[in-house]
Each structure stands twice: as C-alpha cells, then as structure tokens.
C-alpha cells in the first residue's frame, strides 16, 4: 500500500461525506453488486427458507421448548438437537455470505482507486481470500469473547478496534493476527469515529430486519407464497447490508490515509520480518 501517495490523494472525510460517497459507489456499481448478490444471497436465502425453516419447523420447536417441564425429557432433547442443528447451519450459511461481502469490499476499493474490476474478478478474488477471512474472523471472535469475560469493557474495546479485520483481509491480503493488528493500528487513532459508525450501522441492521418481519406478519397467503416472500425479504436485507459493507470499507480506507505514513511503513516492515 503506497501510503505517501494515498495521503496526498485523500482527505479526511466527514460522517456525511462517507455516507454520500458510499451511496455513490453503491449506485454506480449496483449491477456488479446485483450479480454477486444473486449468486450468493439468493441461494442462501432459498436454502434457509426451504431446507431449514420448512423441514425443521422452527416455530414448533421454539414453542415446545418454551413449555419446559410440560414437555417430556426425550422430546426436549430431540427438539434441542434440532434447534442446535438449525443454528449451526444458519452460522454456516452466514459464513458463505462473507464471500459476497469481500467481493463488495474489493469493488469499493477499485472504485476509490479508479481501477476497473468486473464482478467475476471480485468474486474470484473473494473466494481466494475467503479462508483467510474465516480464520481471521474466528480469532477475532475468540478475542472478543475472551475480553467480555474480563469485566466486559476489554471485549467491547477489542470489538471496536478490530472490527475491520475482515476488511483488512480483503484490502491488503493480511490475515489472522496481522490483519487484526492493522485494524487496531488504524482504528485506535480514530476510535470515536469508528464507534459512531458501528452504532449507526448496528442500529440500521437491527431495525431493517425487524421492519421486514413486521410487514410480513400482516401478510396471510399460502405457504408457497409466504416462502417466496421470506426469501425475497432475506435477500433484500442482505442487499441493503452491502451498502453498510461499502460504508465501513470507505471509512477504513479514509482513516488509514490519515495514519502517519511512517507508522504504516514500520508496521509493514515488521510484518515482513515476521514472514
């Protein structure tokens, strides 16, 4: 990463400027994002609705588990096993969507650097670094959980400063502790701004699915149509989430340009020695 050139090219952007630039990137690259999204989000949503929600009947499982002592121990054990299976598959599906998220990060980077990248190139590059992203996410999650056990505050701090670790994997190729260290290097110098964006993004990503669920609750159609509506809602929610992926990528690139070039140079020199 040529930090000197980038520091001359980019200026520190305001909250509003990052939001508007993210929307511009989303709009200009919508076709690429659509292709990537339909390749990942739609199949994942279909699997979730048709293979999980329908076959496992989650509503029935949760209803029975809530009855507690009114349900026999053997039935409780069976239902709990099905529920755990459901959660494991859901986690697995969410890990697959990371491929699309990384591809969107690469499209964002290419747009900012005024480089050309096709959705197929972005997708292929995303698949290549996906295992590294998963390993980094696993280490990051372990650190956050460990931190939460120590009076909560350390876990929250780690969550904030290392939140962009997966973004670092997509943008630089670093992974594991190096990606987390680089995310921390950039974020600790701008922790207030990173925290503000996280609150903004988490709020919207919590509210939007709730709105979808509320709207769907008013619809009463056949099971086939309800399944199609649920697939559409899940896919739309994932598409909307890509805007926030773009936003965090724009934020991280912009903040990294504000870090002292010598600091970043020393970081990469240290990384080369470790390699």
pLDDT in tens, 117-167: 999 999 999 999 999 999 999 999 999 999 888 878 888 999 999 999 999
**Which whole number is the average pLDDT over 226-244?**
89
**CA of residue 161 relative to chain centroid, distance:** 15
Give the pLDDT band of residue 3 (cuts 50, 70, 90). very low
What's residue 48's pLDDT? Answer: 82
Query: Mean pLDDT throughout 38-50?
Result: 88
**200 three-state secondary structure:** helix
Q: Are 192 and 211 in contact (CB under 8 A)?
A: no
Per the structure block, which two tokens stand in for 114? 């005024």
Cβ(136)–Cβ(165) below 8 Å: yes
Token pair belonging to 28: 């200009």
Residue 26 in this model has a pLDDT that exceeds 60: yes
Q: Extract the tokens encoding 128.
A: 């290549």
For residue 119 the two structure tokens come to 């959705």
So what's the pLDDT on residue 126? 95
The contacts of residue 81 (CB under 8 Å, 6+ apart) are: none
The pLDDT confidence band at residue 5, using thresholds 50, 70 and 90, is: very low
CA 158/CA 144 separation, integer angstroms? 6
User: What is residue 265's predicted lDDT score, i.e. its pLDDT?
Assistant: 64
Note whether 207 and 163 are within 8 A (CB): no
The 3-state secondary structure of 128-190, one letter per residue: HHHHHHHHHHHHHHHHHHHHHHCCCHHHHHHHHHCCCHHHHHHHHCCCCHHHHHHHHHHHHCC
Q: Greater confidence, 27 or 73?
A: 27
DSSP state, 12?
Answer: P
For the whole prediction, is pTM greater than 0.85?
no
Confidence (pLDDT) at 14? 87
If you average pLDDT over residues 5-28, what whole number do you get?
79
The pLDDT mean for the chain works out to 83
pLDDT of 273 strictly over 60? no
CA pair distance 187, 251, nearest whole angstrom: 10
């Amino acid at each position: 990463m040529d930090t000197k050139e980038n520091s001359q090219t980019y200026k520190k952007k305001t909250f509003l400027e990052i939001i508007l630039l993210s929307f511009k990137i989303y709009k200009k690259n919508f076709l690429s994002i659509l292709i990537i999204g339909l390749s990942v989000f739609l199949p994942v949503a279909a699997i979730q609705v048709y293979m999980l929600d329908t076959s496992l009947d989650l509503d029935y499982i949760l209803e029975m588990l809530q009855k507690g002592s009114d349900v026999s121990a053997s039935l409780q054990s069976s239902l709990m096993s099905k529920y755990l299976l459901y959660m494991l598959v859901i986690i697995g599906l969410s890990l697959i969507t990371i491929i699309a998220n990384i591809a969107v990060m690469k499209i964002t980077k290419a747009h900012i650097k005024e480089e050309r990248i096709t959705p197929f190139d972005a997708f292929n590059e995303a698949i290549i670094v996906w295992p590294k992203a998963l390993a980094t996410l696993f280490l990051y999650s372990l650190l956050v959980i460990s931190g939460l056990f120590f009076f909560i505050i350390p876990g929250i701090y780690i969550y904030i400063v290392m939140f962009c670790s997966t973004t670092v994997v997509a943008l630089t190729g670093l992974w594991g502790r190096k990606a987390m260290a680089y995310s921390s290097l950039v974020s600790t110098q701008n922790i207030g701004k990173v925290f503000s964006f996280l609150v903004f993004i988490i709020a919207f990503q919590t509210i939007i699915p709730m709105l979808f669920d509320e709207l769907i609750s008013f619809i009463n159609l056949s099971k086939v149509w309800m399944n199609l509506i649920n697939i559409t809602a899940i896919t739309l929610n994932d598409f909307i989430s890509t805007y926030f992926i773009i936003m965090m990528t724009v934020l991280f690139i912009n903040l990294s340009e504000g870090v002292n070039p010598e600091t970043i140079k020393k970081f990469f020199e240290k990384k080369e020695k470790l390699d």
